[in-house]
């Protein structure tokens, strides 16, 4: 029996990177996948094709996770098409790094809206569905930076720390209704987001990690499979670090 057989998941920002790996690992476990990204570009089409090839139901949706209106619209469309939502993975995220001294209001607002408000938007939109089902698993992508802070990332770390408070509160509000809510705090994961870093910076990061390597998107996706499945049925309100021991 596969771990997520016949479940349906919504994953935000899954055209590439960590979100894409989560989508593929979920499909491997028999999960139907509705995923969003800003546009249905070549990445999104390729992810959708790969999922369909795995024999699950899958569809890509263009939707801006930071928009309350867009989010409610897309969740309605997904419900019409899939009929249920068992797992929500709030994965969409961006960085606009700079020291606080140079940070504009726009850079602050953008990161808070895409990273944190999106989690509110999607949780709010799926809550009535999960309440009716009396079950559901919500997985929010935080970061090691949300736990520890990082120079040059005040906006990003605030958004990721905010996600942790939100996750724990949702766990308390919905626990009695069979809905679980957990966060994942990835460390240094090698994707396009971190691929922009210069080689020497990347090497320096890696030398500080006890397991001596950057993480892979699959490392994070495996943790999502665990939190999405019944393997974690007594776990809620937690932050699972996937960071090689950082």
Active site residues: 156
Structure tokens at 107: 């850079």
67 versus 133: smaller Cβ distance to ligand NAD: 67
Contacting ligand NAD within 180-209 (CB under 6 A)? 186, 188-189, 191-194
Q: How far apart are CA 121 and CA 125, in angstroms?
A: 6
Sign of torsion over alpha carbons 226, 227, 229, 234: positive
> What is the 8-class DSSP label of residue 175?
G
Closest CB 90 distance from ligand NAD, rounded Å: 8
**Burial class of 226 by CB neighbour count within 10 A (0 to 12, 13 to 18, 19+):** middle
Count of residues in contact with ligand NAD, rule CB under 6 A:
27
User: Do 96 and 13 form a contact (C-beta atoms < 8 A)?
Assistant: no
Binding range to ligand NAD, per CB under 6 A, among 33-41, 48-56, 167-175, 197-205: 33-41
How many CA atoms does the CB half-sphere of 29 hold within 13 Å?
21
Closest CB 19 distance from ligand NAD, rounded Å: 5
Q: Under the criterion CB under 6 A, does residue 36 sit at the interface with ligand NAD?
A: yes
Closest CB 214 distance from ligand NAD, rounded Å: 8
User: Do 163 and 146 form a contact (C-beta atoms < 8 A)?
Assistant: yes
For residue 36, give the nearest of 64, 8, 17 by alpha carbon.
64
Binding range to ligand NAD, per CB under 6 A, among 35-43, 98-106, 173-181, 225-233: 35-43
**Burial class of 73 by CB neighbour count within 10 A (0 to 12, 13 to 18, 19+):** middle
131 versus 197: smaller Cβ distance to ligand NAD: 197
Contacting ligand NAD within 57-86 (CB under 6 A)? 64-66
- Selected from 9, 10, 18, 126, the binder of ligand NAD by CB under 6 A is 18
56 versus 92: smaller Cβ distance to ligand NAD: 92
- In the complex, the residues that contact ligand NAD under the rule CB under 6 A are 12-13, 15-19, 36-38, 64-66, 91-94, 114, 141, 143, 186, 188-189, 191-194
């Amino acid at each position: 029996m596969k771990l997520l057989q016949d479940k349906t998941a919504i994953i935000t920002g899954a055209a590439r990177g960590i979100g894409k790996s989560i989508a593929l690992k979920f499909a491997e476990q028999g999960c139907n996948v509705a995923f969003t990204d800003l546009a249905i570009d070549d990445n999104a089409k390729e992810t959708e094709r790969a999922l369909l090839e795995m024999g699950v139901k899958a569809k890509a949706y263009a939707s801006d996770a930071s928009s309350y209106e867009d989010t409610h619209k897309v969740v309605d469309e997904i419900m019409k098409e899939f009929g249920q939502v068992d797992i929500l993975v709030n994965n969409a995220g961006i960085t606009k790094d700079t020291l606080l001294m140079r940070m504009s209001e726009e850079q602050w607002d953008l990161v808070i809206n895409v990273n944190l408000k999106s989690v509110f938007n999607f949780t709010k939109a799926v809550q009535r569905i999960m309440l009716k089902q009396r079950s559901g698993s919500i997985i929010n992508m935080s970061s090691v930076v949300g736990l520890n802070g990082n120079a040059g990332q005040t906006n990003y770390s605030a958004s990721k720390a905010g996600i942790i408070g939100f996750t724990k509160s949702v766990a308390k509000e919905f626990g009695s209704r069979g809905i679980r809510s957990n966060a994942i705090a990835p460390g240094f994961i090698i994707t396009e987001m971190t691929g922009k870093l210069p080689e020497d910076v990347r090497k320096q990061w890696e030398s500080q990690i006890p397991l001596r390597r950057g993480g892979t998107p699959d490392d994070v996706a495996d943790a999502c499979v665990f939190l999405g499945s019944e393997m974690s049925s007594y776990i809620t309100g937690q932050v699972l670090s996937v960071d090689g021991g950082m």
